[in-house]
Structure 1
Amino acid sequence: MTITRRSLIAATLAAPGIAPALAQTNRFPDRPVELVVGFTPGGATDLDARAIAPLLEKRLGGTVVVVNRPGAGGEVALASVARARPDGHTLGTTNMPGLLTIPIERRAQFNVTDFAGVANLVTDPNAITVHQDSPWRSMEDILGAARARPDQVTFASTGVGTDDHLLLVLMQKATNTSFIHVVFQGDPQLFTAILGKQVDVLGLNLGPVSANPDKLRTVAMAGATRSRFRPEVPTLKELGIDVVMGSERGVVAPAATPPAVLAKLREAMADAAKDPEFARILQTRFTEPGFEDGEAWFTRLRGLQEGYRTLWERTPWAQH
């Protein structure tokens, strides 16, 4: 029997599951893809989504629409993605460590196992920022005020269990201080609060506060090393505070998304993340690219879970 290329292809397509999977991939997307953001418009996560969406459209050959569903530190949006039909048409933005910490701290509407990683896109260390009129010009000043007035100095974040909040938890533990934690639904609300002098300290990431520096003073940041964008801002570690914290922001799909569709999403996202236009946009926002393929990213995240569980047992942050 002579095996020809045509007969080999026919035999391959006849194999169980192969033809339906290929047909599904070829049809995808057959309607707009929703990219769900768990915070209000104008924040860092929202801007990441709006930067990558048109680049992803070009690679997928279909429309990508950003949908904002703020609430509960991103839980509302992630829960909606976890419950969505797993066909690749509903994706969600994620923030680390919230993706892992929210299900640890409470009976959340999602778990990390509800998702498949598409890709991590950026990394953005936390920063400690005050109003320019604040009498506090350094971390030493802020910590001195907190020690002098326990549970009176306010610290604003985007939600319980978010990177902003865990920065506060770890900082309080490392410095033996106690702040009042005040929660907002997104970056714009945080900026309004600090500029209006409604809160004392802002725990937002370095990217957003560097892109919107008017009337603000950033006194420290929580990266492992100083940022190339703000080399004048010292790290907490340099100041003797052993805390490193930041936001990793990526994209997930429902866990049961067909492998062929997930592979297409991962390939398209990887190509979009390497687009010079995406790099240019991140640079204008003082944000570092942090691309990591979905499979490798989720393997790493699973390895981090135990550390956050241990932190929760030692310092249950929902109570701070």
Structure 2
Amino acid sequence: MTTRRRTLLAAAGASLAAPGFAPALAQTNRWPERPVEIVVGFVAGGATDLDARAVAPLLEKRIGGSVVVVNRPGAGGEVALASVARARPDGHVLATTNMPGLLTIPIERQAQFKLDDFAGIANIVTDPTAITVHEDSPYRTLADFIAAAKARPEALTYASPGVGTDDHLQLVLLQAATDTRFTHVVFQGDPQLLAAVLGRQVDSMGLNLGPVSANRDKLRTLAMAGAARSPFRPDVPTLKELGFDIEMASERGLVAPAATPPAVLAKLREAMGEVVQDPDFVRIMRSRYTEPRYEEGSAWFTRLRGLQDSYRTLWQRTPWNQR
């Protein structure tokens, strides 16, 4: 054996024996060692929760371990995200995310998390926000709705699942574009929003097109904030068609604590890439009037970092916690 080869082998052995390296490698090789939790920041039965429950059994098959969904609602998703930001970064605790809340919550208040507390695993779906009323509502078009709001400032109620969510920001932008003021009412999740509109407790709601369409026989959707009409709901016009330069959607995905070992992140990213293309996942999403939209975690987070300034600018122009 040459002197150079002996030196290289000795160096390799030293690196493997270095403090922390061997345990980290062993931990990665053993992962998952216990059930992997997907923490959801909203109540059971909402779109984010249903996404997680569709993912869990398919992810189990690919990582060779149990995956459980844990609901930890509160503060528009902040409670769940803060808990995962502080979790041990070993790949056993993940969080669902909802854009734009992942960016807007730390802008609007002293939040217990920030984007850099996480590593992106994957964005899995993009679901446009919609403006919806009861089927018996007197407002048959968005024009009717806006005219009523102009005639009675702050008299009409608009419900959403939280300040700074996509559903709420849709309202903020619409108010700015139409010089109207609604009374914003916050509910904890999609089931509560739907119950409030169906029970005529509120005049309208901001909620994603998927869950709204699942109840289309009892609701009237006046407009949606997608870039184009949905193939699932071609009857619903976009806000852009109606003259408002507004696009808003819930981007829903999975994240891990930022310090999660790269090898574990790589396994999760590869697994989620397969999950989103799995025929069972596609079928479930389409049955909920939603098309899967995969974006690999590192590319997704690069894009999100680029969006932060635009939301800060919106905050400076129209602070959404005041509306």
| TM-score class normalised by the smaller sequence | over 0.9
Deviation at 1:22, TM superposition (A): 3.3
CA contact 1:114–1:255 (8 Å) conserved in 2: yes
Q: Which amino acid aligns with 2:153?
A: P
TM-score, L = length of structure 2: 0.94
SS at match of 1:129: strand
For the 8 Å contact 1:174–1:243, the answer to whether it is kept is no
Partner of 1:5: none
C-alpha separation in 1, matches of 2:164 and 2:124:
20
Give the AA of the match of 1:184: F
- Of the candidates 292, 312, 317, which is equivalent to residue 314 of structure 1? 317
Work out the CA distance in 1 between the residues paired with 2:54 and 2:75.
24
Give the deviation of 1:176 after TM superposition.
1.0
- Alignment deviations for residues 121-158 of structure 1 (CA, whole Å, 9 cap, x no partner): 00000111100110110000000000000011000100
> Residues 164 and 27 from structure 1, CA distance in 2 versus in 1: closer, same or farther, beyond 3 angstroms?
same
| Structure 1 counterpart of 2:152 | 149
Instruction: Note the 1:134-213 alignment, pairs <5 A.
Output: 134-213=137-216
Q: 1:38 to 1:10 in 2, by over 3 A?
A: farther
Q: How does 1:241-256 map to 2 (within 5 A)?
A: 241-256=244-259
Change (3 A) 1:9 1:21: farther
Question: Does 2:182 correspond to 1:216?
Answer: no
What is the rounded CA distance, in whole Å, between the counterparts of 1:121 and 1:43 in structure 2?
Answer: 16
Report the residue type matching 2:272 in the other structure.
Answer: M
C-alpha separation in 2, matches of 1:55 and 1:160: 32
Alignment gaps of 5+ in structure 2: 3-7
Structure 2 counterpart SS, 1:286: coil
* d(CA) in 2 for partners of 1:9, 1:173: 67
CA RMSD in angstroms, aligned pairs only: 1.8
How many Å separate the matches in 2 of 1:84 and 1:202?
Answer: 34
Q: What TM-score do the two structures reach when normalised by structure 1? A: 0.95
Following superposition, the deviation at residue 116 of structure 1 comes to 0.5
Residue in structure 1 matched with residue 97 of structure 2 by the alignment: 94
Residue-by-residue CA offset, 1:217-268 (whole Å, 9 max, x unaligned): 1111100111111011110010011111010000000011111111111111
Tell me the matched-pair count. Answer: 317
1:224 maps to amino acid: A
Contact 1:120/1:250 (CA < 8 Å) preserved in 2? Answer: yes
Contact preservation (8 Å) 1:120, 1:291: yes
Say whether residues 1:295 and 2:315 are aligned partners. Answer: no
Aligned counterparts of 1:9 and 1:181: Cα–Cα separation in 2: 66
Supply the distance in 1 between the matched residues of 2:252 and 2:302 (Cα, whole angstroms). 16
| Corresponding residue for residue 113 of structure 2 | 110
CA distance in 2, matches of 1:29, 1:256: 16
Return structure 1 stretches of 4+ with deviation > 3 angstroms. Answer: 8-22
Write the letter of the residue equivalent to 1:251.
Answer: L
Aligned partner (choices 125, 130, 138) of residue 127 of structure 1: 130
Aligned to 1:15: 15
Letter paired with 1:310 = T
Once residues 273 and 9 of structure 2 are traced to their aligned partners in structure 1, the CA distance between those partners, rounded to angstroms, is 29
Q: Distance in 1 between matches of 2:101 and 2:67?
A: 24
- The one of 261, 266, 276 aligned to 2:264: 261
What is the identity percentage for the equivalent residue pairs of Structure 1 and Structure 2? 75
Q: 1:271 aligns with which of 271, 274, 298?
A: 274
Shift of 1:9: 9.7
Partners of 1:136 and 1:242 in 2: CA distance: 22
Q: Distance in 2 between matches of 1:50 and 1:9?
A: 47
The amino acid of 1:307's aligned partner reads: S
Q: 1:34 aligns with which of 16, 37, 44?
A: 37
2:64 corresponding residue in structure 1:
61
Provide the C-alpha distance between the structure 2 equivalents of 1:180 and 1:142, rounded to a whole number of angstroms.
14
Letter in 2 for 1:54: P
